[in-house]
């Protein structure tokens, strides 16, 4: 194949995360955003170490696996979902094989338990961070997700199928309000503009909803009619002016939702990075946390703290983790990369002691509070980088280590130190199997054997998949 040329071919398979493999004669090209069995045309834009990388131009023929219609108007363009037109059964089969192919590259003998699906296929997300922007340059205000492959263009996600309908009603109400008031969104290049994100969280078990509208502090960019109802010449000041979104909050509280809104906030964030964080937050209504329940335990989740985004899927994942951890009676367990301490707390009731380590202090505070809420006194949570904190734990050799690192896997030096404990059993949970196999190679070279692997689909319709892996130290 030659760079710049256009080719046609059938996608033989899709490797994790969304690498469609097309073979033409004896040559191979990787084309992203395709489905197994589709006939496509693509242009080759790179040849790297003999392998061609192509850009999808057109789907010429549907895949035989595409047996159903799309579930929202934006499927295909929106960067959120990739497989809506494939049955869930076929999605699971594809992800199961993707994980197996990766693990097979580094492990010879292990028990592959296949894949466990999400208990619900649609409306499973308990948190969304929608972005404000426009779909086409200078087009109307949009609120939703990024277009596939685009940094700038936003597609309004008012009929998103992987969130429940409460999210869609809230999104439409916020978008209508911003449009009515002529609010502009933050333009990334000039850093001018007001609206940034809409964050919505909803707990499946309690139905509690949290809404947070995130803006810059550039309020001079538009006129706030709410100020007119206040005394004349009001200065923008929390003490004597209604917040820009006070009327919006009233409208949100009147929506006929299935769940109930327990908090509405307006967060100011002037940071240049495209992240959702707070410089200052104004409470418009209620509290800044919701309660969720997983496997009989209760968790307080604040606006910004990490929590698995599919609550019912998390129960499946954590049940598998508990099974792999096995007998815990009187055992000392480390839960490294512990987030809000969910895994630690699910293991604690029958363990000797569980120590969680997590870098985000807010998450550690939430973990401590949650452990107290659940009446667990044998959990300890330490804030800090695993790489450093682990040195201070050197004298407390654990019996079992649970690892649940972020996407990039474990820092090589941290992994070395973890291996240094010489524990008999490690349970590794990974949201990116390509990072997992890199770390498994190191663990195997240092005397661990992969005993069992199970994939868990926490993210139906998308390219993502979670993997749980049980390792034993070879005697």
Ligand X SMILES: C[S@@+](CC[C@H](N)C(=O)[O-])C[C@H]1O[C@@H](n2cnc3c(N)ncnc32)[C@H](O)[C@@H]1O
Residues forming the site for ligand X (CB under 6 A):
306, 308, 337-340, 342-343, 357-360, 363, 385-387, 404-406, 431
The answer to whether 49 and 55 are in contact (CB under 8 A) is no
CB of 317 vs ligand X, minimal distance in Å: 8
Tell me the β-bridge partners of 197. Answer: 131, 214
- Ramachandran region of residue 77, left (φ > 0), alpha (ψ -120 to 50) or beta? alpha
Choose between 202 and 464: whose C-beta lies nearer to ligand X.
464
CA–CA distance, 140 with 300 (Å, rounded to integer): 37
Choose between 167 and 304: whose C-beta lies nearer to ligand X.
304
CB of 203 vs ligand X, minimal distance in Å: 14
The answer to whether 179 and 173 are in contact (CB under 8 A) is no
Residue at token pair 């489905």: 35
Choose between 29 and 357: whose C-beta lies nearer to ligand X.
357
For 385-436, the DSSP string reads -HHHHHHHTTTS--SEEEE---TT---HHHHHHHHHT--SEEEEEES-HHHH
Residue 365 parent element (H or E)? helix 361-373
CB of 345 vs ligand X, minimal distance in Å: 10
CB of 338 vs ligand X, minimal distance in Å: 5
CB of 327 vs ligand X, minimal distance in Å: 21
- Sheet with 154-156, strands from edge to edge, namely 154-156, 141-146, 127-134, 195-202, 208-215, 260-268, 280-286
CB of 186 vs ligand X, minimal distance in Å: 25
Residue at token pair 């899927």: 313
Choose between 82 and 310: whose C-beta lies nearer to ligand X.
310
The answer to whether 371 and 348 are in contact (CB under 8 A) is yes
Does 81 qualify as catalytic in the annotation?
Answer: no
Helix (H, G, I), strand (E, B) or coil at 337: coil
Separation of first and last alpha carbons in the chain: 50
Choose between 7 and 307: whose C-beta lies nearer to ligand X.
307
Choose between 352 and 406: whose C-beta lies nearer to ligand X.
406
Tell me the β-bridge partners of 301. Answer: 290
Helix (H, G, I), strand (E, B) or coil at 130: strand
Using CB positions, name the residue nearest to ligand X: 339
> From the CB of residue 474, how many other CB atoms can be counted at a distance below 10 Å?
9
CB of 403 vs ligand X, minimal distance in Å: 9
- Ramachandran region of residue 463, left (φ > 0), alpha (ψ -120 to 50) or beta? alpha
Choose between 141 and 346: whose C-beta lies nearer to ligand X.
346
Six-digit token pair at 102?
């990766």
Catalytic residue from among 160, 379, 431, 454: 431
Q: Which residues are catalytic?
A: 431
């Amino acid at each position: 194949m030659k760079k710049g040329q256009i080719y046609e071919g059938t996608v033989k398979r899709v490797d994790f995360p969304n690498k469609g493999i097309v073979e033409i004669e004896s040559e191979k090209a990787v084309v992203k955003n395709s489905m197994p069995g589709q006939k496509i045309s693509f242009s080759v834009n790179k040849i790297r170490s003999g392998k061609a990388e192509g850009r999808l131009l057109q789907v010429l023929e549907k895949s035989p696996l595409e047996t159903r219609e799309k579930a929202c108007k934006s499927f295909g363009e929106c960067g959120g979902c990739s497989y809506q037109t494939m049955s869930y059964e076929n999605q699971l089969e594809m992800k199961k094989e993707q994980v197996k192919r990766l693990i097979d590259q580094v492990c010879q003998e292990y028990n592959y338990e296949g894949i466990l699906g999400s208990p619900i296929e649609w409306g499973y997300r308990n948190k969304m961070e929608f972005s404000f922007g426009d779909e086409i340059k200078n087009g109307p205000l949009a609120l939703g997700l990024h277009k596939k492959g685009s940094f700038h263009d936003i597609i309004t996600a008012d009929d998103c199928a992987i969130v429940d309908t409460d999210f869609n009603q809230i999104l439409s109400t916020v978008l209508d309000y911003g449009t009515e008031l002529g609010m502009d969104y933050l333009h990334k290049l000039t850093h001018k503009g007001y609206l940034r994100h809409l964050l919505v969280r909803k707990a499946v078990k309690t139905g509690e909803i949290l809404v947070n509208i995130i803006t810059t502090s550039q309020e001079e960019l538009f006129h706030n009619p709410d100020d007119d109802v206040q005394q004349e010449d009001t200065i923008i000041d929390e003490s004597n002016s209604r917040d820009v979104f006070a009327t919006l909050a009233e409208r949100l509280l009147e929506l006929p939702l299935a769940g109930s809104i327990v908090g509405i906030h307006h967060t100011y964030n002037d940071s240049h990075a495209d992240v959702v964080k707070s410089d200052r937050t104004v409470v418009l209504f209620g509290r800044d946390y919701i309660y969720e329940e997983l496997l009989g335990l209760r968790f307080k989740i604040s606006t910004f703290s990490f929590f698995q985004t599919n609550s019912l899927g998390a129960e499946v994942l954590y049940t598998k983790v508990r099974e792999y951890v096995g007998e815990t009676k009187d055992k000392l367990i480390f839960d490294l990369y512990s987030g809000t301490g969910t895994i630690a707390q699910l293991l604690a009731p029958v363990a000797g002691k569980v120590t969680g380590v997590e870098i985000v202090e807010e998450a550690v505070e939430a973990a401590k509070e949650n452990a107290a809420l659940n009446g667990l006194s044998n959990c300890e949570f330490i804030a800090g980088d695993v790489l450093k904190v682990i040195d201070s734990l050197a004298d407390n050799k654990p019996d079992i280590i649970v690892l649940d690192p972020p996407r990039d896997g474990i820092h090589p030096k941290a992994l070395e130190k973890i291996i240094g404990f010489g524990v008999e059993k490690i349970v590794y949970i990974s949201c990116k199997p390509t990072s997992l196999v890199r770390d498994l190679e190191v663990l195997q070279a240092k005397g661990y054997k992969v005993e069992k692997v199970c994939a868990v689909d926490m993210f139906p319709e998308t390219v993502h998949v979670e993997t749980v892996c049980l390792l034993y130290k070879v005697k």
